[in-house]
Amino acid sequence: METFEELGRRLSNWGRWGPDDRRGTLNHLTPERVLAARESIRSGRVFELSLPLGKGGPQQGGGRFNPIHTMTMLPGDWDLPDGSFIVDDQVTMPLQCATQWDGLGHVGYADRLYNDVPAAATVTARRGAIHNGIEAMAPGMVGRGVLLDVARLRGVDWIAADDDRIGPDELDRAARAQGVEVRPGDAVLVRTGWRRKAVVEGSTPEWITVSPGLDLACAEWLHGHDVATVASDNWAVEAMPSPVPGSMLPLHCVLIRDLGMMLGEMFDLEALAEDCAADGRWDVFLSAPPLRVTGGVGSPAAPVAIK
Ligand code: UVW
């Protein structure tokens, strides 16, 4: 059986867009494809796909915590002679704690990041990811998005963590059932229903330790369709725990490090999925830029889908 490293080597995009490329599969997002994505706007309805940022956010793992919002200036602190006043605030948060993009500095293996960049020498405490920082991805994913509602295909509110992982055949079946085509340059939005579970049941510790999601075999499907990005409503896009002994995030490794693909996590696809099921249109115009955090390995995102 092919290991994830062998799969990564076989699908590798290293060198495809030049030795200094830092944008990976976002290169599929050409001006022509962005322009064509306007055809997905039909009604003007806009859907917010991010989770609220605050202490009510999801259960966290790995030392991450929900955003801490503090007021740094209250009415009365800086009042002006004309009676006007100024109020300021700040947020302290890990960049990986809510709706987010994983950048190309987020995951690697064998001391390499995307496009053969040495990891230990180029990700530093002072400067972050010197070569594969998230700022190189800006303006990021702005183009056509396709929602594949796998939970709906299975006829469930959400896929259970111990159900079968989502494989390439199922992505094809969802697209066929919905009558939508995945095109080069698209963002594929995969709904597992995991967000709905958090809303219905509350975000329990299991929400982050186990989860439904994509199987490693989906890497070849995403590669074969020349998609720009993939995003999901769970916390890791891929199914947890991993099917590969000793490897926690094999799909991350192949997609981020070998293909150069940003992953979108904890996207709230609930309202959008309801609307798509109602009108039978599953393609959207997606605007989901990352913050330009210099040397950042990820970024919070506030994606919006326009129908
Ligand atoms: C980890 O980094 C562990 O996961 P994710 O990319 O899903 O935030």
Sketch the domain layout of the chain as residue ranges: 4-51+99-306
Q: How far is CA 46 from CA 7, 75, 135, 179, 190, in A?
A: 38, 34, 26, 21, 18
Q: What is the pLDDT of residue 61?
A: 86
| DSSP-based three-state secondary structure for 35 | helix
Ligand 1 binding residues, C-beta < 6 A: 62, 96, 102, 106, 235-236, 252, 265
Top mutation candidate among 60, 265, 267 for ligand 1, by most atoms within 8 Å of CB: 265
Top mutation candidate among 66, 99, 109, 235 for ligand 1, by most atoms within 8 Å of CB: 235
- Position in ligand 1 atom list of the atom nearest CA 96: 8
Q: What is the pLDDT of residue 207?
A: 87
Residue 24 CA to ligand 1 center (angstroms) comes to 19
Top mutation candidate among 249, 256, 263 for ligand 1, by most atoms within 8 Å of CB: 249
262-291 burial, b if ≥16 CB within 10 A, otherwise e?
bbbbbbbbbebbebbeeeebbbbbbbbbbb
Q: What is the pLDDT of residue 276?
A: 98
CB neighbours of residue 44 within 10 Å: 7
In DSSP terms, 166 is beta-bridged to 214
Verify cis geometry, omega within 30 degrees of 0, for the bond prior to 67. Answer: no
CB 30 within 8 A of CB 141: no
Q: How far apart are CA 230 and CA 166, in angstroms?
A: 13
Residue 57 CA to ligand 1 center (angstroms) comes to 16
Residue 263 CA to ligand 1 center (angstroms) comes to 10
Q: What is the pLDDT of residue 59?
A: 87
The pLDDT tens digits along the chain (307 residues) read: 899 999 999 999 999 999 999 999 999 999 999 999 999 999 999 999 999 999 888 889 889 999 999 999 999 999 999 999 999 999 999 999 999 999 999 999 999 999 999 999 999 999 999 999 999 999 999 999 999 999 999 999 999 999 999 999 999 999 999 999 999 999 999 999 999 999 999 888 888 889 999 999 999 999 999 999 999 999 999 999 998 999 999 999 999 999 999 999 999 999 999 999 999 999 999 999 999 999 999 999 999 999 9
Residue 209 CA to ligand 1 center (angstroms) comes to 11
Q: How far apart are CA 296 and CA 129, in angstroms?
A: 6
Residue 158 CA to ligand 1 center (angstroms) comes to 21
CB 43 within 8 A of CB 84: no
Q: How far apart are CA 282 and CA 291, in angstroms?
A: 27
Residue 122 CA to ligand 1 center (angstroms) comes to 20
Residue 102 CA to ligand 1 center (angstroms) comes to 8
Q: Which of 149, 158, 147 is nearest to 194 (CA)?
A: 158
Q: How far is CA 125 from CA 13, 122, 224, 295, in A?
A: 28, 10, 36, 10
CB 135 within 8 A of CB 292: yes
The amino acid sitting at 216 is L
Please name the residue whose Cα sits nearest to atom 6 of ligand 1: 236
Q: What is the pLDDT of residue 209?
A: 87
CATH class in words for 4-51+99-306: alpha beta
